Amino acid sequence: MKGRGFSDAIRPSIKNWIDDYYHEMGAGKHDLMQRGDYLYHGKNAKNLSAEERQKMMAIIKSLEDGELMDIDQEEKKVIFPEYKDRKMPIKEGSLKSNFHKFFPVSKPAVKKEESSGNAERIKPVKKVEEEPAGLAKLNRKIQEEAVVSGGYSIMDKKEKNNQLGVEAEMAKREKEKQAEKILEIEKQKKAEQQDIEKRKERKEKEEAEKKLAEEIERGKIERERKEAAQKEDERKRQQKKEDDE
Residue 97 maps to a domain? yes
pTM summary value: 0.31
- Using only C-alpha atoms, what is the Rg of the chain? 46
Residue 84 maps to a domain? yes
Q: How many domains does the chain have?
A: 1
Residue 73 maps to a domain? yes
Longest dimension (CA), the chain: 187
Distance CA(68)–CA(232), nearest Å, equals: 104
Per-residue pLDDT tens digits for 46-79: 888 888 888 888 888 888 887 777 787 887 777 7
Distance CA(177)–CA(181), nearest Å, equals: 6
Residue 203 maps to a domain? no
**Mean pLDDT over each residue of the chain, to the nearest integer:** 72
Residue 81 maps to a domain? yes
First-to-last C-alpha distance (Å) of the chain:
134
Residue 93 maps to a domain? yes
Average pLDDT score over residue span 226-240: 88
Domain that holds residue 80: 8-103+138-155
**Nearest to 31, CA basis, from 223, 163, 174, 121:** 163
Distance CA(21)–CA(2), nearest Å, equals: 14
Residue 129 maps to a domain? no
Residue 88 maps to a domain? yes
